[in-house]
Amino acid sequence: MSILSDFKDFAMRGNVIDLAVGVIIGAAFAPIVSTLVENIIMPPIGYILAGIDFSALAITLPTPTGDGVLIKYGLFLNALLKFVITAAAIFFLIRVLNTLKKPATAEAPPPPSPSEMYLREIRDALVKK
């Protein structure tokens, strides 16, 4: 087989296409979560905590030159909250999708035919002797 046909077989597998769709939807979902965290969730949390803006939280480390080095842990807190919200949203989405799937019901085997029943009776009678 040529490299081109091998690549075509690889690219057309269902798993690769599912992964591509997942990445695209995830990329489209990220701005929604960012906006939700930054504009809806964080302002009330900042209000409750006496007007603290998490994105402005930082620790300044002094340097010999007099310039401070900032450790912006507030931005990390925002990113952490975005991750938790994204994970929760995906969890609930998957949970809803799993409940929508209909479980496969196992069909009961058909009852044996009369000839099979007679053969079983004969077999059982022969075993008893």
> What's 19's domain CATH number?
1.10.1200.120
β-sheet bridge partners, residue 93: none
Find the domain containing 22 and state its range.
3-102
Q: What distance in Å separates the CA atoms of residue 53 and residue 44, rounded to the nearest whole number?
A: 10
pLDDT in tens, 10-51: 777 767 777 888 888 888 888 887 787 778 877 887 788 777
Q: How far is CA 30 from CA 5, 26, 33, 47, 69, in A?
A: 35, 6, 5, 25, 29
Three-state DSSP state, 68? coil
In a domain, 79, yes or no: yes
Residue 74 exposure: Cα atoms within 13 Å on the Cβ side: 14
In a domain, 37, yes or no: yes
In a domain, 110, yes or no: no
In a domain, 9, yes or no: yes
Cα of first residue to Cα of last residue in the chain, in angstroms, is 64
pLDDT in tens, 69-124: 999 998 898 888 878 877 887 788 778 878 887 776 777 888 889 899 888 988 98
pLDDT in tens, 16-27: 777 888 888 888
